[in-house]
Amino acid sequence: MAKTYGPLIWLQLGSTPVVIVSSADAVQLYRQVREDETAQIIRKIQEANGSVVNMTDLLVTLTNNLIARVASGKTYGFQHTVRRIAKATTRFSVGNYFPLFTSMDRLSGLLREADEIFKESDDLFEGVIEEHVNKKDFGIKGHDLVDILLEIQKDVLNLKDT
């Protein structure tokens, strides 16, 4: 499959997007990022000097930082937003099960919280996009997923103009 379609393949399986990496070279592309983030986690464990360490927090941090750095070149403030999203999605929503009672979600503050999280996420992503559009002004080097998505957007807009 890699010979026909290349080392990275994007599939849409129902509503779930899937990326298949079929090349060791493509996996090794971000090896340094993985090593850097893993080293930071190990340092945090060592700095604890034998006291209790919340491994869940460390692993969430590791995962968030890896995804953020591979996708956008640096960690930004994703971790705080991801934690808020995770916490909000575990809350019970009456409206999800009984649409006639959606007003209960409004009264409980769930809808207000969701709106705040969406705004926070939107502001965060707008900042990431702005930095990548104006890379020279922000001193950003390299080529990451955000750059690729911006190139695709530009190509699509150019196709519409023709």
Residue 40 has pLDDT above 90, yes or no: yes
**More confidently predicted of 40 and 90:** 40
Residue written as tokens 């009672």? Answer: 101
| Paired tokens of 145 | 């997923």
The answer to whether 58 and 45 are in contact (CB under 8 A) is yes
Residue 17 has pLDDT above 80, yes or no: no
pLDDT tens-digit profile of 94-131?
988 998 998 999 999 999 999 999 999 999 889 889 98
The torsion angles phi and psi of 157, rounded to 5 degrees, stand at -65, -40
User: Measuring CA to CA, which residue among 140, 118, 119, 120 is closest to residue 130?
Assistant: 140
The per-residue pLDDT for 26 is 67
Q: What is the mean pLDDT of residues 32-42?
A: 93
Of the pLDDT bands very low, low, confident and very high (cuts 50, 70, 90), residue 154 is: confident
Per-residue HEC secondary structure of 2-41 comes to HHHHCCEEEEEECCEEEEEECCHHHHHCCHHHHHHHHHHH
The per-residue pLDDT for 57 is 86
Residue 80 has pLDDT above 90, yes or no: no
pLDDT tens-digit profile of 47-79?
999 899 999 889 888 988 888 888 888 887 777
